[in-house]
Amino acid sequence: MKFDPKIISFLRPELREKIFEKSTIMVFSKGDEILREEQFVKVLPIVLEGLVKVYSRFNDKELLLYYIEPSQSCVMSFYAALKNTPSKVFASVEEDSKILLIPVNYITKWIKEYPDFNELFYNQFNLRYLELLDTIGHILIDKMDKRLYEHLKKKSHLYANQTIKMSHSQIANELGTAREVITRVLKKLETEGKIVQNMGKIKIID
Amino acid sequence: MKFDPKIISFLRPELREKIFEKSTIMVFSKGDEILREEQFVKVLPIVLEGLVKVYSRFNDKELLLYYIEPSQSCVMSFYAALKNTPSKVFASVEEDSKILLIPVNYITKWIKEYPDFNELFYNQFNLRYLELLDTIGHILIDKMDKRLYEHLKKKSHLYANQTIKMSHSQIANELGTAREVITRVLKKLETEGKIVQNMGKIKIID
DNA sequence: AATGTGCAGTGACTATGGTCACAACCTTAG
DNA sequence: CTAAGGTTGTGACCATAGTCACTGCACATT
């Protein structure tokens, strides 16, 4: 199987070749659900291109946990795969993505054989934990206007695009709040000159 | 060095002996601060007896992250030790504790040699992540009364004691809110018959 | 006994954000 | 073209919880 050697370049060439030999690459389109809560995981995804969103749901509310960017993996899948326990989170494709799927039986083997592969997951776990900690900080101390603004800025960086195309209710979901609140706060941010809205698009001034 | 073999009994005897050979056991008293934010970590703690509280601080507010119970370790220390990066969290001793301190240089070695030791940390990481997720859920959807009540119930289980002796402001800190709010909500819980307060002690009914 | 310190109790006020109801739109499918 | 369905804009209202200002209480120290 062909592969771009720049991807997961932090792993040793030897392991990288094994990974590409045993794995499959799948292409997903924007909006595809790739993981549901309570679903068992049989392959570990590593995003090669695109963007995947991982989120949790409480009652009817949703909360964005993290994005998986190229070269990153999903620790929740990793653990679910390792322990053969069902997933507690959801994942869906935000941007058309190319994803490397590693069969779970090799995971166990390789984390023993390749310390840097093992470390990769510790790094990811740590990263995600700190991100979540950060999220809690924002929820606890920031007001909606700041949370929303930071959220939009983060998104614009991820997409490498000043302009975001999302409905108010989608944003509300990601922040775990109601649509009207987003409409209200977006208007406020607009009068403050921090963003510009037109035709369903939001431009971040920064 | 003597040790109680029941402790960390899930590890292989061979490793357990090595751990006790190379580690020191320290005794801490209630209230001791054992880890500050931005501090570098040179030993990995495993709690043998007692209870250790790990928390984070945002501005002046504090938030309880998790308790380390006997046989558990602190993933935040683990990662900080592994990567030689400063800690992002605080830890303090809740109940007089006996703690096993493993020098960091052996950690790296043993996680390579002993897969079950390695797995221990994945388990802990996963556990803590899910706990934090749960906490976010509560913050997002529960009202203060429920959050407080659940918090008290959890504490009473940890201490194996129906009665909790804590000041209102301590509780407020752990939940990231203000003292008056706790006073108010405790009163509410009392009229609902869910708790009884007297002389600085809180008794949880049910 | 007098003073100080910390904790608990309380009423009043306020701000934030969640909810409701409804109007005014676009866009798209029939 | 028109109806339907989704999106946005808005005013009114309300509940929650954070803040302020103060009182009273208990205990310790001098």
Which domains are present in chain A?
13-139 (2.60.120.10), 142-204 (1.10.10.10)
- Which residues of A fall within a CB distance of 8 Å from B38? none
Mutation test of the interface with chain A: which of B79, B127, B142, choosing the one with the most A Cβ atoms within 10 A? Answer: B79
pLDDT, tens digit, 9 for 90 and up, residues B125-152: 999 999 999 999 999 889 999 999 999 9
| Average pLDDT, consecutive stretches of 10 residues, N- to C-terminus, chain B (206 residues) | 55 85 91 83 90 87 88 90 89 90 90 89 92 91 94 91 91 93 95 88 88
Mean local confidence (pLDDT), A37-54: 88
pLDDT of residue B5: 47
User: Residues of B76-85 as b/e, b for ≥16 C-beta within 10 angstroms?
Assistant: bbbbbbbeee
Q: Is residue A6 very low, low, confident or very high in pLDDT (cuts 50, 70, 90)?
A: low
Q: Are A90 and A57 in contact (CB under 8 A)?
A: yes
Q: Are B148 and B189 in contact (CB under 8 A)?
A: yes
In this complex, do A61 and B141 lie within 8 Å of one another by their Cβ atoms?
yes
pLDDT of residue B2: 46
pLDDT of residue B172: 94
Residue A137's alpha-carbon distances to A172, B34, B54, B56, B109, in angstroms, are: 18, 23, 15, 9, 35
| Residue B96, SS3 per DSSP | strand
pLDDT, tens digit, 9 for 90 and up, residues A117-175: 898 899 999 999 999 999 999 998 899 999 999 999 999 998 888 999 999 999 999 99
Chain A nearest-CA residue for B57: A137
pLDDT, tens digit, 9 for 90 and up, residues B95-106: 889 999 999 989
pLDDT of residue A7: 56
CB-count burial class (<10 Å; 0-12, 13-18, 19+) for B183: middle
Say what the pTM is: 0.89
pLDDT, tens digit, 9 for 90 and up, residues A52-105: 999 998 877 888 889 999 888 899 999 998 888 998 899 999 888 999 999 998
Residue A165 CA to residue A174 CA, distance in Å, equals: 14
Candidates B1, B87, B93; CA nearest to B44 is B87
Residue B116 CA to residue A55 CA, distance in Å, equals: 29
pLDDT of residue B149: 96
Q: Are strands B195-198 and B201-204 parallel, antiparallel or unpaired?
A: antiparallel
- Which residues of A fall within a CB distance of 8 Å from B121? 122
In this complex, do B137 and A56 lie within 8 Å of one another by their Cβ atoms?
yes
Indicate whether A1 pLDDT > 80: no
pLDDT of residue B6: 53
Indicate whether A3 pLDDT > 60: no
pLDDT of residue B1: 44
- Which residues of A fall within a CB distance of 8 Å from B88? 130, 133
